[in-house]
Amino acid sequence: MPEFDLPRRLAAEALGTALLVATVVGSGIMAEGLAKDPALALLANTISTGAILVVLIAVLGPISGAHFNPAVTLVFRLRRELSTNDALMYVIAQITGGIVGTMIAHLMFGLPLLNESMKIRTGGSQWFSEAVASFGLIATILAGLRFQRGSVPWLVGLYIIAAYWFTASTSFANPAVAVARSLTNTFSGIRPRDLPGFITAELCGAIIGVIVIGWLLREGNRAAPISEEVQP
């Protein structure tokens, strides 16, 4: 894989996060406007989000790694695959890109550039859901890189589609996206005051994920194949 300098990697992270958020917010606005059934609106939002993730990871992954998510960047910093400075710059690019993504979606639908969300998303079940969602996302990424590297875009997209529906929080699993979604008072929004609980849960889930999956994938102390065992 060719090496790209930091400015290009940051641009890829900002662009990818912006397009991801524009898709999440924009498809939510479209779905809510067209569908009277909330479940149908959520399904439309889900499919759009999963689809764009496949595209973005496939086309921008070779440039920056396609994190688009501070929790993912934290994991790669903990794995010492990214320097502290680069990780901080990635996070700044992701948050900035996410906010721009909200603005893009609002412009496309004739809404104010930024509009504080009033949608309540809080409570223990929501926070636990975010921890589970982030844990599963990290497990999908790390195991995918180990065993099915070429399929990672599809694995992540499909995981997010599933997690939208099996978690009570609809699986944000991304602090940058959560911040961006606090600035839209539409279908996909979240109150700014609810962000701390969500972001804390997402980071905790990611850290637990890197510990558990790191142990699970660690080589060594493997049992000998049956053919090599001493027969009685």
* pLDDT tens by residue, 3-62: 899 999 999 999 999 999 999 999 999 999 999 899 999 999 999 999 999 999 999 999
pLDDT at 152 (0 to 100)? 97
pLDDT at 222 over 70: no
- Across the range 142-168, mean pLDDT stands at 97
- For the chain, the residue count is 232
pTM reported for the whole predicted model = 0.92
What average pLDDT does the segment 176-193 reach?
A: 97
Kindly list the distances between the CA atom of residue 229 and the CA atoms of 24, 66, 82, in Å, as whole numbers in the listed order.
Answer: 53, 44, 41
What residues contact residue 63 under an 8 Å CB cut-off, 6+ apart? 4, 8, 9, 12
DSSP of 48-90, one letter per residue?
HHHHHHHHHHHHHHHHH----SHHHHHHHHHTTSS-HHHHHHH
List Cβ neighbours of 152 (8 Å cut-off, separation of 6 or more): 57, 61, 141, 144, 145
Kindly indicate the confidence band of residue 230, based on its pLDDT and cuts at 50, 70 and 90: very low
Average of per-residue pLDDT across 89-104:
98
